[in-house]
Amino acid sequence: MNGVINIGARSVHFLVCLVLPAVMALHLGGCSSGPSYGRHEIEVCLSDQLKGKTVEVDLIPVMNEADLADWQMQNVTQYFSTGNSKRRETVGRQEFKFSSGDSGCKTVSARDPGWDAAWKGARSIVILANIPFLEGQGGVPGDTRRKDVTMQKGSWEGDRVQVQIGESGVRILTPQKQPKS
């Protein structure tokens, strides 16, 4: 033999038609099927102006874009009204209640074993805050008592997202990274 391998026409056809396109697709498209979502610790604190007041804050895991759109239109005043079925039935909701005797920061830890049960796979965490004297905003899209936090890996500086609840609404204090282009 002179180093020549004899492969039949069928083998060449198989390589050209099936194997080569598959290898090219993996190379050009990568193995990723889209954004990757992960765990971020979320710390919620009251501003100095709200310390000593009663403030309710709910963190809600959202698994898909359709549900996120619904939460972005949620009337916050109705959501916090007594006996609201949506609030009561929301799976995975983390509820924080600040009051005069308990106004320190509260955290959902990414290392908490309960994270997997309730929040694994969440694309976003919607934060709703029942802030005294802001009830009149209703459910308008710009309601400052509502924010959504992406759980996409690499979106935030560090692993902790710091949230401040103030007189003007919910603010995210942690810098968000610019998307890679």
Read off the pLDDT of residues 55-85 as tens digits, 9 standing for 90 and up.
999 999 999 999 999 999 899 999 999 999 9
pLDDT of res. 109? 86
More confident call, 8 vs 172 = 172
**Residues with Cβ within 8 Å of residue 82, at least 6 apart in sequence:** none
Sheet architecture: strand order including 106-108: 106-108, 41-46, 160-166, 169-172
The yes/no answer on whether domain 41-172 falls in CATH 2.60.40.4150 is: yes
| CA-based nearest residue to 105, from 147, 39, 170, 165 | 165
Read off the pLDDT of residues 10-53 as tens digits, 9 standing for 90 and up.
544 444 444 444 444 433 444 556 778 888 899 999 999 999 99
What residue segments make up the domains of the chain, in order of their start?
41-172
